[in-house]
Amino acid sequence: MKIFRRMIPLMLSAVLLAGSASALGAGKTVSGARPAEAALPDTAVPLAGASDTLLLPVASGTSVKKNSRAVIDYSNTKDGYVMVQFTASTSKKLKVQVSGPTRDKPYYDLRPGEWTTFPLSDGDGNYKVTVFENTSGNKYAEVVSVSFKVTLSDEFAPYLRPNQYVDYEDAANTLAKAKELAGSETDPLKLVENVYSFVVNNVTYDRQLAATVQSGYLPVLDSVLAAKKGICFDYASLTAGMLRSLGVPCKLVVGYAGASKPAYHAWISVWTEKTGWIDNAIYFDSTGWHRMDPTFASSGKSSSSILKFIGDGSHYKETSLY
């Protein structure tokens, strides 16, 4: 299936557990001196309520910045991602900052000893990736960093591969279910409809997990699929993972929803060459596409009031893309 050139937004709302700390400037390690420190925020957690070729990230090793503690592989920036591994032994918290040309600088949690993929979601331009290690409290010191210029091979490249937030690389059951839902269908709008309908009708909101979830939580898609329940981060990641695995480019978008009292949310945008960009597209009826929010639509039984809210684009303000 060829890569689709235009967008029809499939919005998947997800209330997040907002982080309370503000990011400050990065501290740098100076040889023979105590490392400079910066206060970094914990990661917020989302809470509330088509192609045969699977594109996967690879740490190719052709462009690398490393030291004795960590390595950053930026060999495949044209494909919209960078990979990081903390190689030293540590029990301390780790974070990765990806600074793009225009957007705010998101901080990701990092687990030691394994490669982790982060999207270059700010388009073409200059980026800086920095690895931090916790020193005390919310203070972190820089371990290693690298700056590079990105020219994407395609504007959809960051949204056709797994990354830390949408990780389906080893989710065999999720990939199999996506293929089952697709069948012989090749129309991206039909694929969107099939995946959306499955998530809405089969995944329920896990209130117990929502009440106990900790910063750093990441969806394990096969576990979500087996349990048939999850928080809204799980809804969003499962939907995006299935669609990307079918060759449908889609973004997991983080921002705010609500007019009088905005809440932290996540949703999904999908491109299709066939229809072009349709604003406020979410579900389809005789009058056209309307904004669809699988989490709200599922928990709200697709009530008219819920659909009216999620169909109003003014309720949504984008801040980050994954």
* Domain final residue pick, 154, 181, 199: 154
pLDDT attached to residue 27: 36
* Residue 285 main-chain phi, psi, to 5 deg: -140, -165
pLDDT attached to residue 25: 34
pLDDT attached to residue 254: 72
* Domain final residue pick, 136, 154, 172: 154
Same domain as 82, residue 61? yes
pLDDT attached to residue 37: 67
- The CATH number of the domain holding residue 146 is 2.60.40.10
User: Which residue range(s) make up the domain with 97?
Assistant: 20-47+55-154
pLDDT attached to residue 190: 86
Same domain as 110, residue 37? yes
pLDDT attached to residue 314: 59
Same domain as 117, residue 24? yes
Q: pTM to 2 decimals?
A: 0.75
Could you say which residues of the chain have pLDDT below 70? 1-52, 104, 257-266, 274-316
Task: Give the tens place of pLDDT for each residue, 38-52.
Answer: 666 565 444 333 456
Same domain as 64, residue 37? yes
Under a CB-based contact definition with an 8 Å cutoff, are residues 21 and 138 in contact? yes
Does residue 296 fall inside a structural domain? Answer: yes
- Rounded-to-integer distance, Cα 200 and Cα 293, Å: 9
Same domain as 316, residue 169? yes
Same domain as 228, residue 139? no
pLDDT attached to residue 264: 63
pLDDT attached to residue 251: 82
- The CATH number of the domain holding residue 311 is 3.10.620.30
Under a CB-based contact definition with an 8 Å cutoff, are residues 159 and 7 in contact? no
Residue 241's H or E segment, with its range, is: helix 232-245
Q: Give the E-state strand segments of the chain in sequence order.
A: 7-8, 16-17, 38-39, 45-46, 64-66, 70-73, 81-86, 94-99, 107-110, 116-119, 125-136, 139-150, 204-205, 229-230, 250-257, 263-271, 282-285, 288-291, 316-321
Does residue 2 fall inside a structural domain? Answer: no
Domain count, the chain: 2
